[in-house]
């Protein structure tokens, strides 16, 4: 035992130990009220050294209410993100494969009782149509999403992954595929891993056990601990890239941030590697789902930005995902708080990338706030000095898991991330960009090159010339 957390090389499926210490979280949030400004600044200094914060330190930042100190939190998060990830923003798109589900989650449009939802699973032909639409717009990275249903077995998920990787559309292809699906057994994860998965993502939804029990009355998802240990089983199976998340609005946002931090600490202590990504979506409306219309613990825009900045400071190395649930104006502001990944050009109705469907909302899990086309989002990012990146190099070069954590330092960004971001951005500009996006994108690339040391600039320019000569998948 270490800090009350079980550390072992294997995991029993009957293991019911919970590593989310509820009373300890409540105590920390109580004891750190009205923190001393000097203590807050000491914590910010520690974060700038790229050290993961301890739970008490995270609680202290969560309880910082003074507007001037909150602004210091925002500014420190911006600086830290720049140091660790640079000014690149990784882009991906969600692909919903099927919405069949046997759970009863009260906040979700997919719940089994929702008779207004149109149930649909893509056929092989429809999957190809979706992939054609996505790759024709320039997408290279996807997260495939499945409802929780026995038909979406590990073998089925692995088959979908193989079909997606095999799909080609001229220069268009999917190079990294992440998965959001039901928690699996260790053997199930091994089947999915063999198909070439990137990150396996599971949202605990809420880390507060009484709330979790109330909101998940039946179905496999009603087991809090089975879901909580879902990524432990993935790690045991050899999937060393995992993503955690909470759905903000189900319970108090400060408790949920603490839950994410204890989950991170658990993975680090047990496996030597924390989550590759942390997601923090807010609840959005869904068809025939009253709770989603009026979240019980609605998070304001101001507090949303606070929690993003605090997560960035608490876990400096992690990728942070801001989804298209949010409206464009909030995404613009939240990007500055430490976000490193966003989805763009997203559509979440089953089959909705390839065909306009008046009933799309009835096939969707929730409603999106940002439905702008990919090229429009890329133009805006470039206009604000962000480098849009479709990079998948780390995954394919084996820089994942513990190796990624070792590399997640400023030198890593300079040596790998920024050059690869520029190369994938140039590829997008050559193959898919509108004239105005191409113009501003080429200017941004030149600007980035001028900031590099001469030897590195010469090397990257040589690689960029290969892309301009229509060579694809040029990477470090």
Residue 277 scores a pLDDT above 70: yes
pLDDT at 8 over 50: no
pLDDT band at 404 (very low <50, low <70, confident <90, very high): low
pLDDT digit string (tens) for 47-60? 999 999 999 999 99
Which fold would CATH assign to domain 88-396? TIM Barrel (3.20.20)
For residue 3, the model assigns a pLDDT of: 30
Residue 2 pLDDT grade (very low, low, confident, very high; cuts 50, 70, 90): very low
pLDDT of residue 271: 94
pLDDT at 252 over 50: yes
pLDDT tens readout for residues 88-117: 999 999 999 999 999 999 999 999 999 999
Contact 32, 299 (CB under 8 A): no
**For a pLDDT cut of 90, what percent of the chain falls above it?**
86
pLDDT band at 472 (very low <50, low <70, confident <90, very high): very high
Report the percentage of the chain scoring pLDDT > 70. 92
pLDDT band at residue 356 under the 50/70/90 scheme: confident
User: Residue 5: its pLDDT value, please?
Assistant: 29
Q: What is the mean pLDDT of the chain?
A: 92
Q: Closest Cα partner for 341 from 23, 123, 81, 130?
A: 81
Q: From CA 385, how far away is CA 378, in angstroms rounded?
A: 11
pLDDT, position 414: 57
Question: What is the reported pLDDT for 14?
Answer: 40
| Cα dist from 39 to 30, 35, 68, 222, 306, whole Å | 16, 7, 14, 40, 18
Mean pLDDT to the nearest integer, 294-323: 96
Give the integer Cα–Cα distance in Å for 10 and 187.
Answer: 12
pLDDT band at 4 (very low <50, low <70, confident <90, very high): very low
Tokens, residue 54: 């301890």
Mean pLDDT (whole number) for 461-472: 95
pLDDT at 10: 42
119-130 residue pLDDT tens: 999 999 999 999
Q: Are 402 and 272 in contact (CB under 8 A)?
A: yes
Residue 13 has pLDDT above 60, yes or no: no
Tokens of 83: 């140091």
Average pLDDT over residues 202-212: 97
Query: Where in the chain are the domains?
Result: 22-81, 88-396, 406-468
pLDDT tens per residue across span 162-205: 999 999 999 999 999 999 999 999 999 999 999 999 999 999 99
Question: pLDDT per residue over 64-74, tens digit each?
Answer: 999 999 999 99
Q: How much is the pLDDT for 398?
A: 65
- The pLDDT-based confidence of 436 (bands split at 50, 70, 90) is very high
What span, in angstroms and rounded, lies between the C-alpha atoms of 182 and 204? 11
């Amino acid at each position: 035992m270490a800090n009350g957390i079980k550390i072992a090389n294997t995991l029993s499926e009957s293991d019911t130990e919970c590593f989310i210490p509820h009373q300890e979280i409540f105590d920390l949030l109580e004891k750190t009220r009205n923190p001393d400004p000097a203590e807050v600044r000491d914590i910010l200094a520690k974060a700038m050294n790229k050290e993961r914060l301890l739970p008490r330190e995270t609680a202290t930042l969560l309880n910082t209410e003074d507007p001037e100190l909150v602004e210091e939190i925002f500014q420190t998060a911006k600086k830290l993100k720049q140091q660790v990830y640079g000014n690149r923003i990784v882009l991906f798109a969600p692909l919903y494969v099927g919405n069949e589900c046997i759970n009863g989650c009260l906040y979700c449009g997919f719940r089994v009782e929702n008779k207004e939802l149109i149930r649909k699973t893509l056929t092989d032909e429809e999957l190809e149509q979706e992939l054609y639409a996505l790759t024709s717009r320039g997408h290279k990275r996807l997260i495939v999403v499945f409802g929780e249903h026995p038909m979406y077995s590990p073998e089925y998920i692995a088959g979908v992954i193989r079909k997606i990787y095999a799909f080609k559309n001229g220069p268009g292809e999917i190079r990294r595929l992440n998965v959001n699906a039901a928690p699996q057994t260790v053997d199930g994860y091994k089947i999915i891993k063999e198909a070439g998965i990137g990150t396996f993502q599971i949202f605990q939804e809420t880390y507060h056990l009484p709330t979790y029990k109330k909101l998940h009355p039946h179905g496999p998802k009603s087991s809090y601990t089975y879901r909580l240990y879902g990524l432990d089983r993935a790690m045991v199976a050899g999937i060393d890239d995992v993503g955690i998340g909470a759905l903000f609005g189900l319970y108090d946002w400060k408790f949920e941030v603490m839950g994410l931090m204890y989950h991170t600490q658990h993975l680090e202590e047990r496996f030597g590697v924390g989550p590759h990504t942390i997601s923090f979506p807010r609840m959005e409306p869904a068809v025939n789902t009253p709770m989603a219309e009026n979240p019980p613990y609605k998070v304001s825009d101001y507090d949303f930005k606070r929690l993003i900045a605090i997560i960035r400071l608490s876990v400096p190395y992690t990728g942070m995902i801001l989804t298209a649930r949010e409206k464009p104006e909030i995404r613009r502001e939240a990007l500055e708080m430490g976000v490193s990944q966003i989805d763009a050009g997203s559509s979440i109705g089953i089959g909705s990338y390839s065909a306009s469907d008046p009933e799309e909302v009835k096939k969707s899990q929730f409603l999106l706030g940002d439905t702008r086309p990919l090229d429009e989002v890329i133009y805006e990012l470039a206009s604000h000095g962000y480098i849009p990146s479709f990079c998948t190099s780390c995954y394919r070069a084996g820089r994942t898991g513990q190796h990624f954590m070792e590399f997640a330092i400023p030198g890593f960004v300079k040596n790998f991330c920024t050059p690869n971001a520029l190369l994938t951005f140039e590829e997008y500009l050559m193959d898919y960009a509108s004239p105005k996006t191409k113009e501003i994108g080429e200017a941004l690339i030149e600007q980035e090159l001028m900031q590099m040391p001469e030897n590195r600039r010469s090397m990257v320019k040589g690689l960029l010339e290969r892309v301009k000569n229509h060579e694809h998948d040029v990477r470090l």
